[in-house]
Structure 1
Amino acid sequence: MSAKEHLVIFDTTLRDGEQSPGATMNKTEKLRIAKILEKLRVDVIEAGFAIASQGDFEAVKLIAETIKDSTVCSLARVIDKDIDRAAEAIRPAQRGRIHTFIATSPIHMQHKLQMTPDEVVEQAVRAIKRARNHVDDVEFSCEDAGRSELDFLCRIIEAAIHAGATTINIPDTVGYAIPEQFGETVGQIIQRVPNADKAIFSVHCHNDLGLAVANSLAAVGQGARQVECTINGLGERAGNASLEELVMAVRTRQDLFHVETRIDTRHIVPASRLVSTITGFPVQPNKAIVGANAFAHESGIHQDGVIKHRETYEIMRAEDVGWHTNSLVLGKHSGRNAFRSRLQELGIQFETETELNAAFTRFKALADLKHEIFDEDLQAIATDTKRKDADARFSLVCMRVCSETGVVPVAELTLMVDGKERTAEAEGSGPVDATFRAIESLTDSGCTLQLYSVNNITGGTDSQGEVTVRLERGGRIVNGLGADTDIVIASAKAYVQALNLITSEGSKQHPQAADV
C-alpha cells in the first residue's frame, strides 16, 4: 500500500466558531484557545477576520506573534482593504495565510452581490493576486459552493489557481449538501480543473442537516486534502464540522481513508472543555468523542463485554482522546508555586502578578469548599479571573438570598455600578429569578434574557456550577459566564458579566456581509 497522504486540519473555532450567537471572545481568550490548538498540532489556525473590528485585528496579530507550530490565517473578503488588513495582522507569523472568498452560487451573485459571473471571477482573481503580493500561502473559497453550478465552479477555480491560490476551498456554506452528491462534486472539480494539481482542495461544511462531518469525509474520499472544522462543532446556526469527530473517524477507519493527520489526539478533550468554558456553549452528554457519555456503558451486556474485551463495544480508547481523571491534589495549605506550576502545565498564563494573585485567592477559597480541585476548576478560575475588567461598569459586591418552602424567594444584593455601591432587594418565582430582578432594578439594562443554562464543571455535589446567561439588546447577543459552588451566586456573576459585555463591546463586521 502506498504511503498515507497528509490531511490538513484547518481549525476555524476562533473565526467561524465565534460567529455562534453570543460566543464572542476577547483576545486573551482567543490566545488561550490558539495555544491549545497548537498543542493539538492543528495545521492551520484561522485566528479571525482582521477587518471586522480592532479587537479582531489585535487578536489575530497576537496569535501570529505567539504561535510557532501552526500556520496562522486571517479571513478577508475580496476587497483591497480586507486583504491589506489581513496581511498586516498575520505579518508577525512564522507561517501566515490569507483566506479570501466570494460567493459563487446564482442566488448569492444575483441577490447579495448583484454581480455578473464575469465580474465575480474578475474580483476573485484581483484579490488573490493582491494577497500573493503579501504572502505565498493564499486560500480561495467559493462561498455557497454547495448550491453553485459545477461549470462555473470549475471556471473560477481554474482562474483562482492561475492567479496564485495555493488552497481551494469548496464550502457547503448553508449546510445544503448530501454526502454522496457533495463528494462527487468535489471529485469532479478536481478531475475537470486543468491545473488542479497545483493546489490543495479543501472543504468547509456546515451542519444544518446534521451532515457536516459526513459531507467532509465524503469529500476526503474524493480527493480533498484539507478539512475545515471547529472544536465541538461550534459555529453559526447549527455549527460546523466537528474537529474531534473528523480526526477520530479518519484515525479509526484507516482501512477506508488513506490519509493521516498530525493531530495529537490526547489534547482533544482538554481543548473541548476549554472552548466550552470560554464560550459558554456546553457539550451535550451524548456528543461523540467529547461528551460525558461518549465512553459510558449503561447496559449490563455492554459492561460485561467491555470488561472481558474492550473492543467488543469500544472502537476507540478513551485515554487516546484525553479522557482521564487528572486532579490537582492541593488544599488550602498548598503554595503559590505548586499552583503556578499546574497552570503552566495547562498552558494558562497571566499577564500580571496581580492577576495570578487574584486567581490564587480564588483557588484558596475553592479549596476550602472542595476536597479536590480538578483541571476544569482551574480553567474556570482562569477564565473568570481574566474576564475581570477594572473598567467594567458593573461588579457583584455581595448578595443574600432567602428561599424556603411556602415563602416567596427574596434576593438582596449589592452591585458596584459605575464606581458606586448600590443595593436592591427583589422577589421572584425562584432564587435565580429574584436575583436577576434585583440586578435589573439597579441597572435597568433593557436586555432580554434569551438563555439560562447550568452545567456542573466536575462530578460530585461539591462541584462548581457553571452558568451561562445569554442577553440580547438591540440585535446584539452576548453570553455571560459565572462559576461558583453556589448556583445562585454563579448565576449573578454570569448575568453581571453579560451586562458588562453588552454595554462595552462594539459591533463587528460579519464576514459574509456584502461589500464588494
Structure 2
Amino acid sequence: MTAQNTGTEANNGAVAAATDHVRIFDTTLRDGEQSPGASMTFEEKLQVAALLDEMGVDIIEAGFPIASTGDFESVQEIARRSRNSVIAGLSRASFKDIDRCAEAVKPAAQARIHTFISTSPIHMKYKLQMEPEAVLQHVSDSVGRARNWVDDVEWSAEDGTRTEFEFLCRCVEAAIKAGATTINIPDTVGYTTPAEYRELFKRVRETVPNADKAIFSVHCHNDLGLAVANSLAGVEGGARQIECTINGLGERAGNAALEEIVMAIRTRNDVLPYTCSVNPQYMMRASKLVSAVSNFPVQYNKAIVGKNAFAHESGIHQDGMLKNAETYEIMKPEDVGVKATSLVMGKHSGRHAFREKLLELGFELGDNAFADAFRRFKDLADRKKNVYDEDIEALVEDEISTQGEMSKVIALTVIAGTGGPQKAIITMDVDGQHITKEANGDGPVDATFRAIREVQPHEAKLALYQVNAVTEGTDAQAEVSVRLQEDGRIATGKGADTDTLVASARAYVSALNKLALRQKQTMPDALKAG
C-alpha cells in the first residue's frame, strides 16, 4: 500500500485549527440516506454530489463502500467526478472495511477515509462486546491502516457524548498519534445540550497533549431538536468542522441541517465570527433536489428552505414588510436562492418561459426530463385556471422521482359512489409492455391499489398513505405520499395530479419501484452507523 497525497489543508491541523474557517462536511449521501425509505439510486446520488461539489461543500461523505456493491460504485464514481470537494467514505474499524473504502475513494483528487468505533460504555458492552483496552487498540490499528492509504484520515468516537471523559481523551490521543488529521466527537443519539457540548470540546482540546495536530469535528443528531444549536456550540468550543445534511435528512429525527448552519453563521456573524465556503444561493435548489430524490417532503415551516420561510399572512406583518422588509425578515430570500420576482405561468406559456421558471425554482432538467415535465405542465394548465409555483414544483418533483423507473401509470378509470362496489381499471407500462387489469375494493383508493397489485403482484404492506393539497381551490393538485414495507425494507413514493386517485396510483407505483430496487441493494442493519 502507498499513501495518497490529498494536498488538503487537513495535513496541517495545527494551522487550520487556529483559523476561524469552519469546514462543512456534508453526509446527505451517507447518514442522510440511512433514513428509512430515503435510499437514492446511483444516478440520483451523482446528481446530488455534483450540486454539493458546485455549491462549495468542503467534504462530501459519499457513502459506506463496504455496505453494498451499489454503494461502492457510487462512491467511486463520485470520487472520479469530483472537482472541488474532498470525497470521504465511511468504514468501520476493520481492515476489510478500510481497504474497501480506500479503493472506492482512490480516484478522487482529494480523498479521505472516515473510520469509526463506539467508545461509550453501553455501546462497548452491548454492541461491540469488547473491553475498553481492546477498543483502544482498534483505534490505533484502524487509523494506522487508513493512513497507509491516504494522508487525510478522520476518526470518530461513536456515541462520543456518552463516553467516559478520560477514556475519550485516551482514544483521541491514540487516533492522532496513529495519523488521524480530523477527530469527530459525534452526538450520535442526540443526547447532549449546547453548554455540555461546548465544554466537552474545550476540555478535550485542553487535555489531550497532541490535540493541536488535528481538526476537531461535530456531528449532531436532532432527537431533542438541538442538532444545530449543539453543532454551533461545538464550534465555540474549538471544533472547526461541522457534519450536517441537506434538509436535516437522517436517521430518527435527522441530523443538523446544512442550510441552517450556514445561514446562522452568515446572519449572526457578530456572535458567530466564523467563515465557511458554501454558497448560500444554492440552498433552495439543493433542498428541492434532495427532497425530490429522497421522497422526504420539506415541512412548510422549515427554517431557511420551507415553503413558508419567507411567507407573511398576518396583516401586521404584511404592513411592516411593505414599509421595510427588515421588519420581519432577517435574511433576504435571494440569499438562499428564492427569487423575489415571479413569472406568471399558464397554458399560453412556451418552453423558454417554462425552462426559466424551472431555473427560478431551482430545477435544472435534462432534455428528456424537461420534455416530459413540459408536456405535463401543458396538460395541467389546460385543467387549471391558475398554475402556481407550488404546482410546478410538485409536478417536477414527481417527474424527477419517477425517472428511470421500470413501471409507470398510463391510464386509470375508477367507478365509485355510495352504491358500490368500487372498481378500478388501470393500464401500466411495465418494462415497455402495456398491461391492463381491474379490481374491486373497499373504496376507490383501495380498488386502485388492488388493481396495481394485479399488474405487479407483491406482499408489501401499506405503512403510510398521505394526501396534501398543493395549493388552494377545488382544482388544486393533490400530492400523495405512499410508504410500503416488506421484509424489513421500506420505500416511499410520491405522486402529484389534480386527480387524487391518479396521484395515489403514481405514488404507489413509485414506492413499488423503489422497493424492488431496495431488494437488490439492501444494507444490513449491522452496517449502519450514526
Unaligned runs of 5+ in 1: 351-355
Query: Which residue does 2:226 correspond to in 1?
Result: 211
User: Counterparts of 1:39 and 1:33 in 2: how far apart (Å)?
Assistant: 10
Q: Map of 1:111-190 to 2, 5 A cutoff?
A: 111-190=126-205
The change in CA–CA distance for 1:44 and 1:465 in structure 2 (over 3 A counts) is farther
Provide the TM-score with structure 2 as the length reference.
Answer: 0.87
The change in CA–CA distance for 1:192 and 1:459 in structure 2 (over 3 A counts) is farther
Query: Which residue does 1:386 correspond to in 2?
Result: 403
Query: Which residue does 1:472 correspond to in 2?
Result: 485
The change in CA–CA distance for 1:55 and 1:179 in structure 2 (over 3 A counts) is same
The change in CA–CA distance for 1:38 and 1:358 in structure 2 (over 3 A counts) is closer
User: Counterparts of 2:51 and 2:379 in 1: how far apart (Å)?
Assistant: 30
Q: Map of 1:56-455 to 2, 5 A cutoff?
A: 56-324=71-339, 334=350, 348=364, 350=366, 356-357=367-368, 359-370=370-381, 376=393, 379-380=396-397, 382-384=399-401, 386-388=403-405, 392=406, 394-404=407-417, 409-416=422-429, 419=433, 421-429=435-443, 431-455=444-468
Question: Deviations for 1:235-279, whole angstroms, at most 9, x for unmatched residues?
Answer: 011111111111111111112112111111111111111111111
Q: How many residues align structurally?
A: 503
1:316 maps to amino acid: M
User: Counterparts of 2:412 and 2:116 in 1: how far apart (Å)?
Assistant: 50
1:296 maps to amino acid: A
User: Counterparts of 1:291 and 1:340 in 2: how far apart (Å)?
Assistant: 21
CA contact (8 A) 1:426 1:434 kept: yes
Unaligned runs of 5+ in 2: 1-17
User: Counterparts of 2:439 and 2:37 in 1: how far apart (Å)?
Assistant: 29
Query: Which residue does 2:14 correspond to in 1?
Result: none
Using the TM superposition, name which of 332-341 and 52-61 deviates more: 332-341
CA contact (8 A) 1:52 1:511 kept: no
The change in CA–CA distance for 1:179 and 1:344 in structure 2 (over 3 A counts) is closer
The secondary structure found in structure 2 opposite 1:271 is helix
Using the TM superposition, name which of 297-306 and 41-50 deviates more: 297-306
CA-based RMSD: 2.9
Once the two structures are TM-superposed, the CA of residue 48 in structure 1 deviates from its matched residue by 0.7
The secondary structure found in structure 2 opposite 1:401 is strand
User: Counterparts of 1:281 and 1:338 in 2: how far apart (Å)?
Assistant: 25
Once the two structures are TM-superposed, the CA of residue 486 in structure 1 deviates from its matched residue by 2.9
User: Counterparts of 2:488 and 2:221 in 1: how far apart (Å)?
Assistant: 23
User: Counterparts of 1:197 and 1:179 in 2: how far apart (Å)?
Assistant: 23
The secondary structure found in structure 2 opposite 1:270 is helix
User: Counterparts of 1:300 and 1:337 in 2: how far apart (Å)?
Assistant: 33
Once the two structures are TM-superposed, the CA of residue 459 in structure 1 deviates from its matched residue by 7.6
User: Counterparts of 1:450 and 1:358 in 2: how far apart (Å)?
Assistant: 30
1:318 maps to amino acid: P
CA contact (8 A) 2:248 2:258 kept: yes
Using the TM superposition, name which of 168-177 and 110-119 deviates more: 110-119
Using the TM superposition, name which of 85-94 and 450-459 deviates more: 450-459
The secondary structure found in structure 1 opposite 2:149 is coil
The change in CA–CA distance for 1:213 and 1:342 in structure 2 (over 3 A counts) is closer
The change in CA–CA distance for 1:268 and 1:105 in structure 2 (over 3 A counts) is same
The change in CA–CA distance for 1:346 and 1:244 in structure 2 (over 3 A counts) is closer
Question: Deviations for 1:434-486, whole angstroms, at most 9, x for unmatched residues?
Answer: 21122234434111111123346678776654432110011111112333343
Query: Which residue does 1:353 correspond to in 2?
Result: none
Once the two structures are TM-superposed, the CA of residue 416 in structure 1 deviates from its matched residue by 4.9
User: Counterparts of 1:311 and 1:345 in 2: how far apart (Å)?
Assistant: 23
CA contact (8 A) 2:398 2:495 kept: no
The secondary structure found in structure 2 opposite 1:189 is helix
CA contact (8 A) 1:71 1:97 kept: yes
Query: Which residue does 2:516 correspond to in 1?
Result: 503
Using the TM superposition, name which of 283-292 and 32-41 deviates more: 32-41
The change in CA–CA distance for 1:188 and 1:333 in structure 2 (over 3 A counts) is closer
Once the two structures are TM-superposed, the CA of residue 214 in structure 1 deviates from its matched residue by 1.3
Query: Which residue does 2:63 correspond to in 1?
Result: 48
CA contact (8 A) 1:339 1:360 kept: no
